[in-house]
Structure 1
Amino acid sequence: MIKKSFLSILFIAVISTLFLTSCSTKQNGLENMKTLKNTKWKALVLNNVDVKNDRKVANINFEEDGRVFGNLGCNNFFSSFKEDNGKLTLAQAGSTMMMCPDMTTEHNFSSVLSNVKSYEINGKNLRFFDQNNKEIAKFIKE
């Protein structure tokens, strides 16, 4: 009887520990994420204009090897990036060259990519800033 009670208590303790550890690890992982490598983001605001993610979703993806790519709202783009302590450098981007009915998001996103100098990650949000530390883009983690 005592052995059965002990095993039940031990089982509950192990399950509780695993549950609490997995929850705190996930939360801390989001809060402590400060690198762009291996992340994907959906554009919400570009140059103070809300993004209309209709048929195509404007997004940016950062790879471990320094490649960056995504969709400008119409065309796909590709480039490379370097990050250093919140500073962000993007090489000149290349893109496909389709014409879409509304190119507003495309033009705003291209401008953001050309002007970004730093970034900040806060939870599931990513913000880009220009050389004057003015926010020029806001993204949400995908």
Structure 2
Amino acid sequence: MKKYTLAVVSVLTLLFASCMATKETKNSGGLYGTTWELEYISGPRIAFEGLYPNKKPQLTFDQKETRVYGNNGCNGYSAPYTLKGNSLTFGEAGPTTMMFCEGGGEQEFLKQIKNVTSYTVDKDGKLNLIHKDVPVMRFKKVTKQ
């Protein structure tokens, strides 16, 4: 009888643990384990390719460090973030390189990311960064980690 009870408790423990892991994955909405590349930004009246003629901004979320890393279309980018459900905010960007780049997209990226209040990952797997109820930036997955 003790072996049977031990087996049942073991199975229930495994089921409970797997359910918790699934819940945590859903809460992150697929942010982790990939690099995101910007494909749309609202606001500027310059064509997207004109803003980012050489390199498109990219973000990678580090769950353990609660920081986001990447580039802002010109220089390296790193900032803390706060994630609660679908609420997402970014802190001040850390030190970056000081390269001069064409297009002016760097300033637009930094301006828009400071205003982000939430996010969604849509049915096509695109990451939408939202200010209030308006999507201001959209990213596509470019690599899996």
- Would the TM-score normalized by the shorter structure come out above 0.5? yes
1:54 positional shift: 4.0
The aligned counterpart of 1:77 is 77
Are residues 1:51 and 2:48 paired? yes
The aligned counterpart of 2:61 is 62
Distance 1:124 1:57 in 2: 18
Distance 1:47 1:96 in 2: 25
The aligned counterpart of 2:8 is none
Q: Is the CA contact 1:48–1:137 (under 8 Å) kept in the aligned structure 2?
A: no
Runs of 4+ in 1 over 3 A off after TM superposition: 48-51
Q: Alpha-carbon deviations, 1:2-37, whole Å to 9, x = none?
A: xxxxxxxxxxxxxxxxxxxxxxxxxxxxxx671423
Amino acid at match of 2:36: W
The aligned counterpart of 1:115 is 115
Are residues 1:128 and 2:123 paired? no
Distance 1:96 1:116 in 2: 23
Amino acid at match of 2:98: M
Q: Alpha-carbon deviations, 1:22-76, whole Å to 9, x = none?
A: xxxxxxxxxx671423331110111255532543231111112112011111111
CA-based RMSD of the aligned residues comes to: 1.9
Q: TM-score, normalised by structure 1?
A: 0.68
Counterparts in 2 of 1:98-109, with a 5 A limit? Answer: 98-103=99-104, 105-109=105-109
Q: Alpha-carbon deviations, 1:88-107, whole Å to 9, x = none?
A: 0211112222111222x212
Distance 2:127 2:43 in 1: 15
Is the alpha carbon distance of 1:67 and 1:38 closer, same or farther for their aligned partners in structure 2, counting shifts above 3 Å? farther
Distance 1:91 1:106 in 2: 17
Q: Is the CA contact 2:53–2:103 (under 8 Å) kept in the aligned structure 1?
A: no
Q: Is the CA contact 1:43–1:51 (under 8 Å) kept in the aligned structure 2?
A: no
Distance 1:97 1:113 in 2: 19
Gaps spanning 5+ residues in structure 1: where? 1-31
Gaps spanning 5+ residues in structure 2: where? 1-25
Q: Is the CA contact 2:55–2:73 (under 8 Å) kept in the aligned structure 1?
A: yes
1:136 positional shift: 0.6
Distance 2:100 2:34 in 1: 28
- SS for the counterpart of 1:113 is helix
